[in-house]
A and B are shown apart, each in its own frame.
Chain A
Amino acid sequence: MLARETFYDVIRRQGISRRSFAKFCTLTAASMGLGEAHAATIAHAMETKPRIPVLWLHGLECTCCSESFIRSAHPLVRDVVLSMISLDYNDTLMAAAGHQAEAILDEIREEYKGNYIAAVEGNPPLNEDGMYCISGGRPFVEKLKEVCGDAKAVISWGSCASWGCVQAARPNPTQATPVHKVITDKPVIKVPGCPPIAEVMTGVITYIVTFDRLPTLDAQGRPLMFYSQRVHDKCYRRPHFNAGQFAETFDDEGARKGYCLYKVGCRGPTTYNACSTVRWNEGVSFPIQSGHGCVGCSEDAFWDNGPFYDRLAKVGAFGIESNADRIGLAAAGVVTAGIAAHAALSAVKRMVHKPGVGAEDKNLASLDGEPK
């Protein structure tokens, strides 16, 4: 039997000081945009509420979400939130293995029916009855349906679970399918990114377990607190964008001066994510800060949109891949040539025959019913 302890119990058991706990609450409140007063709310909730278990499943994935998660900035997150979760189930990180591990799933499902969170990393391939991803000796899709079936809510970690990501890129032979298309009767919170930012992941979990409610989501199911602005909106290179100062290549003067990466294909203007605010690796940097454009990893179908160094999606027609301007210019050229030919022919025709001349009388007669 699992004891119904509070978060705080677990935290103290892990040897975390009260002071460190308070810091965590403040940091988390700030990262969720809640303000100082809410730090106390978080602390209170963690001290009094029974801990909500999290079952962390792995489908077709690369574990980059877990890798990101364990690099979360605050030690408390790393040590406690993570260990709280691994206490329950995370087949990559937990100590238990084999039948012992799988037994935990059933135990939690019974004990906390309708009151635990299913966090899914990766997605189920549906082709061949799900045989492309076997977990615990059976198709992952079965395990997914089972565990999500009794959950309170489902979190889709990363672009795999949220959109499909690389394994669902065309032509998607295994028919890898995002979680919300398989689990349709539970609220699904999407936390896209390849991987998602660690603090965003812990922020979402902490919000749910402390406030006992789901964060506000946008129309696509992403938490507004982290996905309501584009990378472009808070990018520190934005002044150069506005000024019109761009890096033309990755090794030119503009690149050295840290100009905007728009012309080398930065997808920041069409990508909703928190990279430019929260950043990565304890806030050290993020792709654009390192001189590389955003590849739009948190957006649907980013693998299918063409080279990572193109800001616009590739346009494919008749097996030829091209870009919008090349196609448009070619079409305009053909049309203009056609017009020149048409104009020449029209002029010749006009020399031979003047429109309307001679037609009038005949047709007037025909109006009376009798063609001449």
Chain B
Amino acid sequence: MSTLPRAPADGLHESASAPDFLTPATAPGSAGVVAPKDLRGVADLPTDERPVGAKQTAIYVYDMPVRAWHWVNALCIVVLAITGYLIANPPAAAPGEAFERSLMGNIRLIHFTAGQILAIALLARFVWMFFGNRYAHQLFCPPIWRRQWWAEVWFEAKWYAFLVRDPKKYIGHNPFAALMMFAFFVLPCVFMVLSGMALYSMGTGVDSWQHAAFGWMLTLFGNPMTLQTLHHLGMWVLVIFSILHIYAAIHEEMWSRQSMISTIVSGWRMFRDNAR
């Protein structure tokens, strides 16, 4: 071992002593061993399927519903952050008779519409985890109980901290990204939906289904005012996630060994240096 830990060339971590859940599984389209469910997509190419010598390796990772969801969700987040910020810091409408304008009303309408689209899309994305390909569940189920997975998270953290020379290759999300997505996207986003619907239920009334379903959120943190404050803070969590996420996508696209942005557009993951 050298002092700088280094990734195996293909990044799929086969080794003589690999724990059982890292045993190679099949690449899409070939029969053979399947990686344990919780680590699928992280390490699942069998040795004999390894793309050594292949001129170009492309694996279909994000199927259409996942990609469609990604962009619908991204759009909703942008719209919600902008309208949410404006709800908190509203621009002044022109004076004059109130009924003739609805500036705040429209901002809120857009916010509530985008919010409910986001909520339904998130639910659909969750359900898709059971029907999609093996990468579809990664977003929601980081295998946090696996030691080896944390080692991979640690490795990627070191890669981002310039402590390793070569990054590994991952077919699905790299474990560090998966952890970040779960902690700073999935959880906050679920919170935003629950708190947003609860705030919304104050308007629809205590006899509405929204209040029956989400009203408990209003007092979970003491009072509705605190919930509204947390809903507001949640926006900043998601904004910061988005900034980091987009940077990480560009960073990995430019400086790592696999395609990124084209992957979330077309679904295909390319491993560039396999061509050599």
Contact = CB atoms under 8 A, between A and B. Distances in A.
Contact of B166 (A220, A230, A311, A355): A355
B99 A243 contact: yes
A244 B183 CA distance: 36
Given A343-B247, A359-B6, A242 B223 contact: no
Closest CB pairs A-B (n = 7)? A328-B236, A244-B103, A244-B93, A360-B9, A239-B98, A363-B9, A356-B273
A263 B121 CA distance: 33
B257 to A, nearest CB: 5
Contacts of A240: 98
Given A219-B216, A262-B90, A299 B99 contact: no
A244 B104 CA distance: 5
Contact of B88 (A220, A312, A353, A356): A312
B243 A244 contact: no
B162 A349 contact: yes
A299 B218 CA distance: 11
A325 interface: yes
Interface string B1-30: 100001111100011100000000000000
Interface residues of B, number: 66
Q: Is the interface of A mostly helix, strand, loop or mixed?
A: helix
A218 B207 CA distance: 10
A340 B35 CA distance: 38
A332 B240 contact: yes
Contacts of A95: none
22 contacts: A219-B219, A228-B206, A233-B203, A243-B99, A243-B100, A244-B90, A244-B104, A244-B105, A300-B219, A325-B236, A327-B236, A328-B236, A331-B240, A339-B243, A355-B165, A355-B255, A356-B166, A356-B167, A359-B9, A364-B10, A366-B8, A367-B8
A99 interface: no
Interface stretch (B55-63, B126-134, B144-152, B225-233): B225-233
A242 B227 CA distance: 22
B223 A299 contact: yes
Contacts of B15: 366-367, 369
A355 B257 contact: yes
B34 interface: no
A324 B237 CA distance: 11
A107 B122 CA distance: 63
Contacts of B52: 364
Contacts of B101: 243-245
Contacts of A342: 160, 247, 251
Interface string B230-265: 001101100110011001000100111100000000
Nearest to A350: B255
A348 to B, nearest CB: 9
Contacts of A219: 215-216, 219
A241 B104 contact: yes
